Copies of this chain bind each other. A is one copy, B any other.
Amino acid sequence: MSQEASQDFSLGKVQVASSPQERFDEYLQSKGKRTTQQRRALVECVFEEHDHFDADELLEMISRHAEGAGVSRATVYRTLDELVEAGLLRKMDLGGRAVYEHDYGYPQHDHLYCQLCRKLIEFRSEELMAIRDAVAAKHSFRVTGHRLIVSGVCEECSHKRHRRHSPLDLI
C-alpha cells in the first residue's frame, strides 16, 4: 500500500498528466498563492499512500514524516481546503468529522463503511451512475456529484465479537 516517493500517480486506474505537487503548484499560481514548505510537505505526505484520513491524522502523519518541519494545525486545515478546491482531495463527512481521500487521478467510487472498525471499503458501480443520472433527469436536477455510503459490518468484524468503536454513529 505504501510507496516511497510520490512518483506513480496512475494508481492503477486513471492516467493523469502531472504529479499532485505539480498540479497543486499550478492551482496555487492561478490563485496568486505561494508554494511554501508546509504546503509542499503536506501534499507529499497526503499522496504518499492512498488512504482515508482526517485532519488530526494528517497532523500526526506530517509531524512524523517531515523530520524537522512541523506544520501547525491551522495550516493543515487551511491546506486541506485548498487541496479540495484544487481538485486533489475529496472531502466527506463521516460521523461528525471530515474525512479526506484522493480525488485527483482517482476514479469515482463509493464506500462500504464498517460501523465497528470504521474501515472504508471502496467499490465502483457503473449501474449506480446510470440510476443516479436517470433519477436526476426525472427531477430536472443538475448533478455535480454524489456520495453513497453503505454502512454495516465488514467481514473481519463479523467474526470478532461485537464491540462498537463509538456509541451512536452517523452514517
Contacts and interface: CB of A to CB of B under 8 A. Distances in A.
Interface of A: 81, 84-85, 91-96, 98, 112, 114-115, 121, 123, 125, 127-128, 131-132, 135-136, 138-155, 158, 168, 170-171
A6 to B, nearest CB: 26
- Specify how many copies of this chain sit in the oligomer: 2
B135 A155 contact: no
B152 A136 contact: yes
B155 A151 contact: no
Contacts of A142: 152-153, 158
Nearest to A85: B168
Given A94-B93, A147-B148, A154 B170 contact: no
Contacts of A140: 154-155, 158
Nearest to A171: B147
Contacts of A135: 112, 123, 125, 150
Contacts of A92: 170-171
Given A85-B168, A121-B139, 11 more contacts: A93-B95, A98-B170, A114-B141, A127-B131, A131-B131, A139-B155, A140-B154, A141-B153, A142-B158, A146-B151, A147-B171
